[in-house]
């Protein structure tokens, strides 16, 4: 697995082959992690671009990527062919990741891989951490770690949806002294964001293509006795191949393997429709209120103060 430590000094070197930011062979993606390329040695100041891959899919991780180079190297960057990764072929993206990794003096990049489990647990907990907040946290983490690694940033360009002016103001207040530009379609407007887009997309694709099911032992990864196929499709709920995989991979007692995002409506609806229902059995009289409190946040927890509810504290009547 690539470096998961947020510390700047814990950086994984690039191997001569493969996608260095993806999990290694036969390693399940069970937790989120961060990968950093070697720190560029050219003098600053630097520009940095931010983009993501995998925000909408129901399968696999969400990956945030950053790329950075010296301001003085902007014209050279323009000639390298970086663009919105969705407009590029798989082969071209792989080639461009090689370009991004091939000039450690002037170019650097990092990715934050947010696992499907982390996405789901964040969105389903009380209070929930929605995808916008998880995305914001990943962006801030990557920018902060670039600064910790000694990169002097003067300009940061961020691809984002929604109210970009509010987000731009927030980032500017979080990192005073850096000029932020937050806009839609930044990956097609700024080459440094296109480079970040390539890093994120290639990493996510490698995670999906090499997905190792933690639910299976090593001998069963290819000849899968439980029916977990590898025809994931694009991962988007509207993709017929993705829909077929989801419908064919449901285990009625345990649900889906961890590649699926349990917080997505597509998965929730299918679980409600086709999975075994849960029934709570009352062990003895007096336990009814505990069961009600657990299943509906009522009963003993009714009318509890807001802080107690937000901390997810619950009453215990019987140990």
Residue 52, marked binder? yes
Q: Is residue 163 part of a domain?
A: yes
pLDDT of residue 267: 92
Q: Is residue 73 part of a domain?
A: yes
Q: Is residue 90 part of a domain?
A: yes
Judged by average pLDDT, the poorest of 76-80, 100-104, 194-198, 278-282 is 278-282
Q: Is residue 230 part of a domain?
A: no
Statement: residue 5 has pLDDT above 90:
no
Express each pLDDT in 200-259 by its tens digit.
Answer: 999 999 999 989 898 886 555 554 545 577 889 989 999 999 999 999 888 888 889 999
pLDDT of residue 222: 56
Give the three-state DSSP class for 261. Answer: coil
Domain extent at residue 55: 33-210
pLDDT of residue 8: 32
What Rg, from alpha-carbon coordinates, does the chain have? 22
Reported as a pLDDT band with limits 50, 70 and 90, residue 14 is very low
Tell me the pTM: 0.81
Contact 249, 256 (CB under 8 A): yes
Statement: residue 17 has pLDDT above 50:
no
Reported as a pLDDT band with limits 50, 70 and 90, residue 163 is confident
Q: Is residue 140 part of a domain?
A: yes
pLDDT of residue 218: 57
Domain count, the chain: 1
Q: Is residue 233 part of a domain?
A: no
- CB < 8 Å & 24+ apart, contacts of 218-226: 218/26, 221/26, 226/251
- Percent of the chain at pLDDT > 90 equals 64
Q: Is residue 129 part of a domain?
A: yes
Can you tell me the mean pLDDT for 86-94?
91
- Alpha carbon dihedral 246, 197, 36, 261, in 10-degree steps, equals -20
Statement: residue 96 has pLDDT above 50:
yes
Residue 51: CATH number of its domain:
3.30.420.10
Q: Is residue 151 part of a domain?
A: yes
- Percent of the chain at pLDDT > 70 equals 79
Reported as a pLDDT band with limits 50, 70 and 90, residue 60 is very high
Express each pLDDT in 201-214 by its tens digit.
Answer: 999 999 999 898 98
């Amino acid at each position: 697995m690539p470096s998961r430590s947020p510390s700047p000094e814990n950086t994984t070197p690039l191997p001569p082959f493969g996608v260095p930011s993806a999990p290694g062979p036969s390693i399940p993606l069970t937790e989120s992690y961060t990968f950093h390329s070697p720190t560029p040695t050219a003098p600053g100041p630097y520009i940095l671009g931010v983009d993501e891959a995998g925000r909408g899919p129901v399968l696999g991780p969400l990956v945030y990527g950053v790329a950075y180079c010296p301001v003085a190297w902007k014209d050279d960057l323009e000639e390298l062919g970086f663009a919105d990764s969705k407009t590029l072929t798989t082969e071209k993206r792989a080639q461009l990741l090689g370009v991004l990794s091939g000039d450690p003096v002037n170019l650097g990049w990092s990715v934050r891989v947010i696992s499907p489990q982390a996405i789901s647990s964040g969105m389903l907990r009380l209070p929930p951490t929605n995808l916008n907040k998880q995305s914001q946290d990943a962006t801030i983490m990557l920018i902060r770690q670039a600064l910790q690694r000694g990169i002097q940033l003067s300009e940061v360009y961020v691809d984002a949806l929604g109210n970009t002016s509010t987000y731009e103001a927030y980032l500017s207040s979080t990192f005073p002294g850096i000029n932020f530009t937050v806009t839609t379609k930044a990956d097609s407007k700024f080459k440094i964001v296109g480079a970040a887009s390539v890093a994120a997309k290639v990493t996510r694709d490698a995670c999906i293509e090499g997905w190792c099911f933690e639910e299976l032992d090593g001998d069963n990864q290819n000849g899968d006795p439980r029916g977990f196929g590898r025809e994931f499709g694009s991962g988007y709920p509207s993709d017929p191949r993705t829909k077929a995989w989801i419908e064919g991979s449901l285990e009625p007692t345990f649900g889906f393997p961890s590649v699926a995002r349990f917080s997505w409506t597509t998965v929730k609806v299918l679980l409600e429709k086709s999975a075994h229902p849960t029934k709570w059995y009352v062990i003895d009289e007096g336990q009814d209120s505990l069961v009600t409190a657990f299943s509906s946040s009522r009963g003993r927890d009714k009318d509890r103060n807001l802080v107690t509810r937000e901390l997810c504290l619950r009453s215990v009547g019987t140990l």
